[in-house]
Structure 1
Amino acid sequence: MKAFDTQLFKRILFYTKPYQWRFKGVIFWAIGLSVFAALRPYLLKNTVDDYIKTNDSQGLMFYILLMGIVLILEVLSQFYFVYWANWLGQDIVRDIRIKLFDHMLRFKMKYYDHSPVGQLVTRSVSDIEAIARIFSQGLFMIISDLMKMVAVIFVMFYMNWKLSWIAILAMPILIYATRIFQLKMKSAFEEVRTQVANINTFVQERVTGMKVVQLFSREQIDYEKFKVINDKHNKAWIKTVWYNSIFFPIADLVTYFTLAFVVYFGGLSLIGGETTTTFGDLFTYTMLIGMLFNPLRQIADKFNEMQMGMIAANRVFAILDMQDQVQENGTVEAPHFEGKLSFQEVRFGYIEEEEVIKGINLEVNPGETIAIVGSTGAGKSTIINLLNRFYEIQSGSISIDGKDIKTFELKSLRKQIAVVLQDVFLFADTILNNITLDNPNITREDVIEAAQKIGVHEFIMTLPNDYDYNVKERGVMLSSGQRQLIAFLRAYVSNPSILILDEATSSIDTYSEELIQRATEKITKGRTSIVIAHRLATIVNADKIIVMDKGKIVEQGKHAELLLNEKGFYKNLYDSQFVTEH
Structure 2
Amino acid sequence: MNTYLRILSYARPYSRFVPVYIVYTLMAIIFGLLNFTLLKPLFDVIFEQVDSEVLLSYQNKPDFTFSIDYFTHLFNYYFLQVAEEYGKMGTLFYVCLIIVVSVFLANLFTYLSGVVLAKVRAVVIKRMRTDIFDQVSRLHIGYFSSERKGDLMSKMTNDVQEVENTIVQSLRVVFREPATIILYFAVLFFMSVKLTLFTILIIPISGAIIGGITRRLKKKAVESQQSLGRIVNILDETLGGMRVIKAFNAEWFMARKFDEETDHYAAVNVNMARKNELASPISQFLGVTVVAGILVYGGSLVLSGESTLGASDFITYIIIFTQVLNPAKEISRAVSNIQRGIASADRIFQVIDTKSKITDPDTPLAFDSFQKEIKFEQVSFGYEDEMVIKEVSFTLSKGKTIALVGPSGGGKSTLADLVPRFYDPTHGIISIDGHDLKELSLADLRKHMGIVTQESILFNDTVFNNIAFGMDEVSEEDVMEAAKIANAHGFISEMEHGYQTNIGERGAKLSGGQKQRLSIARAILKNPAILILDEATSALDSESELLVQEALTKLMQNRTTLVIAHRLSTIQHADEILVVEKGRIIQRGTHTDLMQQEGMYQKLSSIQSV
The normalised TM-score by structure 1 is: 0.93
2:373 aligned with 1:340: yes
Provide the C-alpha distance between the structure 1 equivalents of 2:430 and 2:302, rounded to a whole number of angstroms.
93
Q: Which residue of 2 aligns with 1:569?
A: 600
Equivalent residues, number: 572
Provide the C-alpha distance between the structure 2 equivalents of 1:81 and 1:52, rounded to a whole number of angstroms.
38
Provide the C-alpha distance between the structure 2 equivalents of 1:275 and 1:556, rounded to a whole number of angstroms.
103
2:219 aligned with 1:187: yes
Q: 1:482 aligns with which of 514, 532, 541?
A: 514
Q: 2:401 aligns with which of 341, 365, 369?
A: 369
2:544 aligned with 1:512: yes
C-alpha displacement at 1:429, in angstroms? 0.5
C-alpha displacement at 1:273, in angstroms? 6.2
Q: Which residue of 1 aligns with 2:349?
A: 317
Q: Percent identity?
A: 31
Q: 2:254 aligns with which of 217, 222, 235?
A: 222
C-alpha displacement at 1:486, in angstroms? 0.3
**Larger-gyration structure (1/2):** 2
Provide the C-alpha distance between the structure 2 equivalents of 1:199 and 1:27, rounded to a whole number of angstroms.
42
Provide the C-alpha distance between the structure 2 equivalents of 1:560 and 1:318, rounded to a whole number of angstroms.
54
C-alpha change, 1:328 and 1:87, in structure 2 (3 Å) is same
Q: 1:496 aligns with which of 528, 548, 570?
A: 528
C-alpha change, 1:340 and 1:302, in structure 2 (3 Å) is same
Provide the C-alpha distance between the structure 2 equivalents of 1:215 and 1:290, rounded to a whole number of angstroms.
66
Q: Which residue of 1 aligns with 2:580?
A: 548
C-alpha displacement at 1:213, in angstroms? 2.1
C-alpha displacement at 1:136, in angstroms? 3.7
Q: Which runs of 5+ in 2 are unaligned?
A: 50-86
Provide the C-alpha distance between the structure 2 equivalents of 1:368 and 1:275, rounded to a whole number of angstroms.
101
Contact 2:402/2:577, CA 8 A, preserved across alignment: yes
Q: Which residue of 1 aligns with 2:84?
A: none
Q: Which runs of 5+ in 1 are unaligned?
A: 1-5
Contact 1:547/1:555, CA 8 A, preserved across alignment: yes
1:191-210 maps to which residues of 2 (within 5 A)?
191-210=223-242
C-alpha change, 1:132 and 1:20, in structure 2 (3 Å) is farther
Q: 2:97 aligns with which of 65, 70, 76?
A: 65
2:134 aligned with 1:99: no
1:257-406 maps to which residues of 2 (within 5 A)?
257-268=289-300, 271-272=303-304, 276-329=308-361, 331-338=364-371, 340-351=373-384, 353-406=385-438
Contact 1:52/1:60, CA 8 A, preserved across alignment: no
Contact 2:121/2:169, CA 8 A, preserved across alignment: no
2:104 aligned with 1:109: no
Q: Which residue of 1 aligns with 2:37?
A: 42
3-state SS of paired residue (1:125): helix
Q: 2:7 aligns with which of 12, 19, 22?
A: 12
The normalised TM-score by structure 2 is: 0.89
Amino acid at match of 1:34: I
Contact 1:166/1:261, CA 8 A, preserved across alignment: no
3-state SS of paired residue (2:390): strand
Provide the C-alpha distance between the structure 2 equivalents of 1:350 and 1:187, rounded to a whole number of angstroms.
32
3-state SS of paired residue (1:53): coil
3-state SS of paired residue (1:397): strand
Q: Which residue of 1 aligns with 2:64?
A: none
Task: Give me the CA root mean square deviation.
Answer: 2.0
Contact 2:40/2:313, CA 8 A, preserved across alignment: yes
Cα deviation code 1:265-310 (max 9, x no counterpart): 4544555567733332343344323211222121011112322222
Provide the C-alpha distance between the structure 2 equivalents of 1:16 and 1:542, rounded to a whole number of angstroms.
57
Contact 2:283/2:332, CA 8 A, preserved across alignment: no
C-alpha displacement at 1:435, in angstroms? 1.0
Amino acid at match of 2:609: F
C-alpha displacement at 1:406, in angstroms? 1.9
C-alpha displacement at 1:510, in angstroms? 2.5
When structure 1 is superposed on structure 2, of 63-72 and 509-518 the one drifting more is 509-518
